Amino acid sequence: MSKINLQEQIKNLLREADIQINGNRPWDIQIKNPDFYSHVLADGSLSLGESYMNGWWDSKAIDQFMEKILLARLNKKIKNSKNLLWNIAKAKIFNQQNISRSKIVGKKHYDIGNELYKNMLDSRMNYSCGYWQKADNLEDTQIVKLELTCKKLQLKPGMRLLDIGCGWGAMSKYAAKNYGVKVVGITISKKQARLAKEMCQGYDVDIRLDDYRNINEKFDRIVSIGMLEHVGYKNHRSFMQIADKSLKKDGIFLLHTIGGNESIKTGDSWISKYIFPNGLIPSPVQIIKSAEGLFRLEDWHNFGDYYDNTLMAWHKNFNDNWDKIKNKYDEKFKRMWNYYLLICAASFRARNNQLWQIVFTKPSSNKKYKNIR
């Protein structure tokens, strides 16, 4: 097929999303390399991201560009069958998130530099959605989120809290400092663990560089923020079984996770290759099925709308502070990271992705749970 025909094919697809090639609106796409057309038609999402990283196209508002693509469901129309089938086959045959492979995301994403995250996140380094209902800036929304989470957990002094996927220790420190609980935080990232220990120094927090599958203790409460996305559908049940085994009879388990509207077995090809290796966003069905018979569902709180605000705030911080870290990264990384933040913001704005806080208790407990917002 000639380049002219390829261009016309892409042009017609983009028209469905109200996007013009070389148009003058913020969300329009500016093509700088004619090879863009054949590559995107051949490799879909992967090539769209890679060609942006390579400077083959631009847009003044990538978040608006991607939002329109998602709302028009163009992502469903442009897929590379060879790559898609291979990724699905791998997901079915192999456990992409077993103990040895689970460390890959720690090295590839979380260990790329604490300075990057310090200059992008809030002062406590929360790498998860803020709660914007009662605040209007990133710093305060994260405090509100932490407080809301602690209240949902019904923490009391002296309790033992397990923080699965503790990141840089924001939740662990907040709970220990403000609620007097004893915390064990688990992370697979070496750099996260090192900094989390520093940030939690002076509080009753034990940060461990370990896999959640090695937990063999009892806790009054369990919290997991932004961790299930790395577990994989093959391990959802074992994740819940470990939480069940680790939680006392009258305990509470709060699961904070990004969620999807459909049950899938393989993630977006560009995100999987460049941002979150082996990541997979769970669906409601996958979560409920994995918890069935182990936990009682008490509350399911969706505040995915706020992830758009959070990601755009991270995007602003990243670019405002780029000069402080640019000696450690190149321009291609900058384009990649901006693309990541903006397409993720678009996915929440288009309601393709959700953010859930789910509260579970044990079926054997007769204690009543009061929902909190």
pLDDT digits (tens, 9 = 90+) for 107-142: 888 989 999 999 999 999 999 999 999 899 999 999
Are 192 and 327 in the same domain?
A: yes
State how many domains the chain has.
2
Q: Give yes or no for residue 210 having a pLDDT over 50.
A: yes
Same domain (yes/no): 116, 220: yes
Residues 145, 22 share a domain = no
- Model confidence at 267, pLDDT cuts 50, 70, 90, reads confident
pLDDT of 293 strictly over 80: yes
Contacts of 150 (CB under 8 A, 6+ apart): 174, 175, 178, 179
pLDDT of residue 278: 84
Q: Output the average pLDDT for the chain.
A: 92
**Catalytically active residues, by annotation:** 344
pLDDT for res 7? 87
Domain end marker among 24, 52, 79: 79
Query: Are residues 267 and 344 both part of a single domain?
Result: yes
Residue 91 has pLDDT above 70, yes or no: no
Which pLDDT score is estimated for 195? 98
CATH number of the domain to which 255 belongs: 3.40.50.150
233 is a domain residue? yes
Same domain, 291 and 159: yes
Domain shared by 112 and 31, yes or no: no
Q: Are 191 and 111 in contact (CB under 8 A)?
A: yes
Identify whether residues 326 and 239 lie together within a single domain: yes
pLDDT over 60 (residue 240)? yes
Mean pLDDT over 151-159 rounds to 98
Q: Strand pairing partners for 358?
A: 255, 300
DSSP label of 73: T
The last residue of a domain, from among 79, 106, 136: 79
* The pLDDT of residue 75: 77
Does some domain include residue 125?
yes
| 102 and 17 inside one domain | no
Q: Please count the other Cβ atoms lying within 10 Å of the Cβ belonging to residue 54.
A: 16
Residue 10: pLDDT over 70: yes
Indicate if the pLDDT at residue 173 is higher than 90. Answer: yes
Instruction: Calculate the alpha carbon distances from 44 to 41, 50, 269, 291 in Å.
Output: 6, 10, 9, 34
171 and 45 belong to one structural domain: no
User: Is residue 59 domain-shared with residue 204, that is, in the same domain?
Assistant: no
Residue 84 pLDDT: 38
> Is residue 56 predicted with pLDDT exceeding 60?
yes
Q: Is 315 within a domain?
A: yes
Q: Which of 49, 79, 109 finishes a domain?
A: 79
Query: Do 121 and 263 lie in a common domain?
Result: yes
Mapping DSSP to helix (H, G, I), strand (E, B) and coil, where does residue 97 land? coil
Domain extent, residue 139, equals 95-361
Confidence at residue 1, expressed as pLDDT on a 0 to 100 scale: 47
- The Cβ of residue 185 has, within 10 Å, a number of other Cβ atoms equal to 30
Alpha carbon distance 269, 265 (integer Å): 12
